[in-house]
Chain A
Amino acid sequence: MRNRLKVLRAERNWSQADLADRLEVSRQSVNAIETGKYDPSLPLAFKIARVFALPIEQIFSDEVEAAS
């Protein structure tokens, strides 16, 4: 799964620590999601969408969908 977390975070001038605090997770989790090493659970994905005030599909996209 691809995501735009790093771009969205940069647009808001947030550090990984800022986003981690908002999501109540560790900075390692934010980094792992940004680098594609970890796909978040549905509850965390919805929380990310709420924090960025965006629909979930504007943050995450399927690899197959993104390739086509």
Chain B
Amino acid sequence: MSTQTDVPRGNNAVMITRVFIVIALLGAALFLGAYGTHLARWSDAVAIVVALMCAASALRLAAESFYPDALGARIGVEGPSTAREVRQVRLQAMLLVALAIALVWPVTATWLHWPAPAWAYVVTAAFILVRITYTWVVFARADEFSRQRTRQMGWWIFFAGQTALLAYASAERLGLAPTLTAWDILVLMQFLSIMMAAFLGKARTAA
């Protein structure tokens, strides 16, 4: 099979994924329009949107992983992606799905008046274990280039997060802004992380 036939197939997969993303976002908008007033906090709505962004990214990665030429081009290597690169991308997609579940679950459990919050917390604890294991395994296997990119991303998220927190916390302490909960801050941090990852990814591709 030639590259000329594979690349359009890969592009079709990405296009189909984009259609799914638009449908998912429209669904989220309809859901929030219909049930948004039932949510406990504004951050619950943001959590649902962030979870959908994670799910959409996971879907795109999963779709691309079936087209080695398209995936090879996206990760910036010569020729089609290897089995190891496909595995890495699928693992990343699975972590994004797990993150989406971890963000939506506390909102859903609260919304459904889950009878035992301690048992509901087991889902979060499981995700924390998965995240620690994934990060440890990926970082241990990474080479210096990957580690440098991870550090760079971490630096930008830390800088932006700290600056925003300083600005807001001071305003809150002075009574100029309403109090935020740890859940609000977590959701905003996840949103910031995803936006930063997307922005830096675009910037690297354009460079």
Contact = CB atoms under 8 A, between A and B. Distances in A.
Contacts of A33: 145
Contacts of A17: 79, 82
Contact of B146 (A15, A26, A31, A41): A26
Contacts of B77: 16, 27-28, 30-31
Nearest to B78: A16
Contact of B207 (A24, A31, A37): A37
Nearest to A17: B82
Interface residues of A, number: 19
B23 interface: no
Interface in A19-68: 24-33, 35, 37-38, 40-41, 44
B143 A29 contact: yes
B79 A15 contact: yes
Interface string B66-83: 000000000111110010
B163 interface: no
Contacts of B82: 17, 27
A27 B144 contact: no
Contacts of A41: 144
A15 B79 CA distance: 9
A41 B145 CA distance: 9
A24 B204 contact: no
B145 A26 contact: yes
Contact of B143 (A24, A35, A37): A24
B204 A29 contact: no
B179 interface: no
Interface string B99-112: 00000000000000
B146 A37 contact: no
Nearest to B143: A25
B135 interface: no
Given A16-B79, A25-B143, A28-B76, 15 more contacts: A16-B78, A25-B145, A26-B145, A26-B146, A27-B82, A27-B85, A28-B77, A28-B146, A29-B146, A32-B76, A33-B145, A35-B76, A37-B204, A40-B144, A40-B145
Interface of B: 75-79, 82, 85, 143-146, 148, 204, 207
Can you list the 5 inter-chain pairs with the closest CB atoms, starting with the nearest? Answer: A29-B145, A25-B143, A27-B77, A16-B78, A31-B76
